[in-house]
């Protein structure tokens, strides 16, 4: 399975540190923003998934910082779904500034979990089907 899309986000002042750079703790938030907006574009939301009995907590996350993003930068966050394997779903992310410079790369692995049992479960077929048509 392969799907990719991107969203933009403007860096807010509160996201920067004393050096004027985006604080490292914000990058996972940017990743999540991209994933949720892309899911919304496909016609689904995390809220809808939870109402249907499935959650997607983070299992693993990794990042590499290449050049700083700064206040008021317009960032493009590319989100690539590389695989759904059993209960696991992996997204790779690239963040670029307006000049096209690669700011950050990273990945997030999520796990499909049943909201009642809190046990891992396979990806719902309707979720897989959302991304199959691409």
Domains of the chain from N-terminus onward: 3-132 (3.10.129.10)
| The pLDDT of residue 82 is above 90 | no
| The pLDDT of residue 134 is above 60 | no
The CA-based diameter of the chain, rounded to the nearest angstrom, is 47
Please tell me the total number of residues recorded for the chain in this structure: 134
The pLDDT tens digits of the residues spanning 43-66 come to: 899 999 999 999 999 999 999 999
Yes or no: say if 107 and 91 are a contact pair by the CB < 8 Å rule. Answer: yes
73-84 burial by CB neighbour count: b if 16+ within 10 A, else e? bebbbbbebeeb
φ, ψ for residue 98, nearest 5 deg = -65, -25
The Cα–Cα gap between 113 and 94 comes to 26
Q: Nearest Cα to 77, choosing from 21, 13, 29, 34?
A: 34
pTM, full prediction: 0.92
Catalytic residue positions?
17
Beta strands per DSSP E along the chain: 3-10, 54-55, 58-65, 74-85, 88-96, 102-111, 113-114
| The pLDDT of residue 40 is above 60 | yes
């Amino acid at each position: 399975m392969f799907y990719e899309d991107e969203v933009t986000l403007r860096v807010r002042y509160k996201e920067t540190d004393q050096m004027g750079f985006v604080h490292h703790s914000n990058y996972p938030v940017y990743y999540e923003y991209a994933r949720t907006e892309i899911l919304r574009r496909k016609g689904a939301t995390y809220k809808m998934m939870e109402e249907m009995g499935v959650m997607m907590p983070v299992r693993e996350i990794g990042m590499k910082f290449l050049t700083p993003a700064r206040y008021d930068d317009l960032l493009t966050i590319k989100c690539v779904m590389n695989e759904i394997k059993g209960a696991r779903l992996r997204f790779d992310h690239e963040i670029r500034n307006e000049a096209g410079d690669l700011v950050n790369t990273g990945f997030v692995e999520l796990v499909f979990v049943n909201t009642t049992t809190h046990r891992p479960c396979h990806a719902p077929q309707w979720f897989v089907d959302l991304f199959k048509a691409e």
